[in-house]
Amino acid sequence: MGLSGSTGTAPVITDRGLHEMSDAFLSRIEAKRDELIALTQDLVRIPTLNPPGENYREICGYLAERLGENGFEIKMIRGEGTPGDSKKYPRWNVIARREGTGPGDCVHFNSHIDVVEVGAGWTTDPFGGELIDGKIYGRGTCDMKGGLAASIIAVEAFVEEFPDWHGSIEISGTADEETGGYGGVAYLAEHGHYSHVNHVIIPEPLQKDRICLGHRGVWWAEIETHGEIAHGSMPFLGDCAVRHMGAVLQEMEESLYPALAEKRTDMPVVPEGAKQSTMNINSFHGGQAEPEPDFTGLPSACVPDNARMIIDRRFLIEEKLDDVRQEVRDVLEKVASERESFSYDLREMWSVEPTMTEKDAPIVTSVKAAIGEVLGKEAEYVVSPGTYDQKHIDRIGRLKNCIAYGPGLLELAHKPDEYVGVEDMIDSAKVMGLTLVDLLKP
Ligand SMILES: [Zn+2]
């Protein structure tokens, strides 16, 4: 018996029986509204700013205590030696696991515990977790402590309502998603913590009626052009690295950007503008270093002998990383063939392959059916323009049955007055709960 119509040895249950059963279960989740609000507020009031990675131990300890009291077996795992890990800022993660009464699949809910800097423009306390008109405000409410809280409530309601469930459920709170996830999901995947997992839901704020199947790829590189320093009054005695870089930018405008705009994907990327290949110029430095803000003097007259530019290229599942690299090399080689004394270095900084879970994967069909049941509408499939921890689960954990699904609006992430709606959390907890019924109820 399952919402997605799975068969097997399951007892026959009439449609009416199914609806009565899920009505009781959904009311149980509804009855946990105040608990869900309090849990979200507690999580938001632990400021887990990253960088540098504050209070990871505290928030993992909080989750360990709550879930431990509810019968979960707890593992605290430090991403020792990963980027940013230190005595002062240890990269702590927590995994809570609970076994059912018989053999079955393992469903894993993964949420990152870190939040980004507060920034300016807030009218509410960023770590107050204030509840105003059905919304909880604070840094990390939407991205993604609201999703973490909703998944916990869904799981707790499920094990209460169906004591005879089969398989296992895991809830993890992991470090550093906002800075690459190397001390969090990547570390756990490398150490085999996903090897037994069958289904993964990452409750990132993708909206309660959308299933996020994956993300585009990333390639970051630094381009450096070289010149020769000379007195600024006689630039012909030197060689200006900034003008060389200007020629690179011009060639990009003329050939690369139009080519990127032509590349369209079949991936359901949102927003619409990200359905093509994109490239951001992340930074540009040339010539003398910027003076301190309180320095009142003038610059010295010099020809810049060095310019550097960091590019952030996002690519599609239809593209190959090697081709993405080659396109930029082609730009540089073309400029080199046209400009005397042009020389450059190209340094790769970071890359992530695009990933997309199949629409007929069990976790997708299960969540889709649950969205239909709870919200009475067709789920929308989306793909994220940027990456998140699914990359590590796919690449290191070798698990293709993974989606992001959770409450909150992606547009609010990292913004001032970030909030998550209580009704959205309740609805997505119901969707997650019915997904568990589908996957784990015998
Ligand atoms: Zn997030």
Terminal Cα-to-Cα distance of the chain (whole angstroms): 7
Region 217-352: CATH code: 3.30.70.360
C-alpha 144 – ligand 1 centre gap (Å): 5
Q: Where are the domains of the chain?
A: 15-215+354-440, 217-352
CA of 114 to the centre of ligand 1 (A): 8
Give distance in angstroms: CA of 202 to centre of ligand 1: 9
Alpha carbons within 13 angstroms on the beta-carbon side of residue 102 total 8
Residues forming beta bridges with residue 221, ordered by sequence position: 311, 348
Element (H, E) at 247: helix 241-251
The alpha carbon of 304 and the centre of ligand 1 are apart by a number of angstroms equal to 40
Residue 61 and residue 71: Cα distance in Å, rounded? 15
Place of tokens 């550093």: 176
Dist. CA 270 → ligand 1 center (Å): 16
pLDDT digits (tens, 9 = 90+) for 268-291: 999 899 999 999 999 999 999 888
Give me the chain's average pLDDT, please.
Answer: 94
How many CB atoms lie under 10 A from the CB of residue 135? 19
Count of beta carbons in the 10 Å neighbourhood of residue 106: 19
Report the alpha-carbon angle 56-60-65, nearest 5. Answer: 150
pLDDT band per the 50, 70, 90 thresholds, residue 299: very high
Query: What Å distances lie between residue 364 and 3, 31, 214, 322, 358, CA to CA?
Result: 12, 27, 12, 30, 8
Distance 415 CA to ligand 1 centre (A): 12
Residue 61 has, within 13 A of its CA and on its CB side, a CA count of 6
**Local structure of 441: helix, strand or coil:** coil
List, for residues 161-201, the tens digit of each pLDDT value.
Answer: 999 999 999 999 999 999 999 999 999 999 999 999 999 99
| pLDDT of 397 | 82
Query: How many whole angstroms from 177 Cα to the centroid of ligand 1?
Result: 7
pLDDT digits (tens, 9 = 90+) for 378-391: 999 999 999 999 99
The answer to whether the beta carbons of residues 220 and 352 sit under 8 Å apart is no
Ligand 1 centre from 26 Cα, in Å? 26
| Centre of ligand 1 from the C-alpha of residue 147, in Å | 9
The CATH T-level fold of domain 15-215+354-440 is: Aminopeptidase (3.40.630)
Which among 132, 150, 128, 36 has a CA at the least distance from the CA of 407? Answer: 150
Tell me which residue of 177, 23, 171, 20 sits closest to 108, measured CA to CA.
171
Determine the distance separating the centroid of ligand 1 and the alpha carbon of 280, expressed in angstroms: 21
By the CB criterion, residues less than 5 angstroms from ion ligand 1 are 143-144, 204
- C-alpha of residue 329 to centroid of ligand 1, in Å: 33
How many angstroms does the Cα of residue 219 sit away from the middle of ligand 1?
A: 20
The band of 15, judged by pLDDT with boundaries at 50, 70 and 90, is: low
3-class state of residue 213 by DSSP = strand
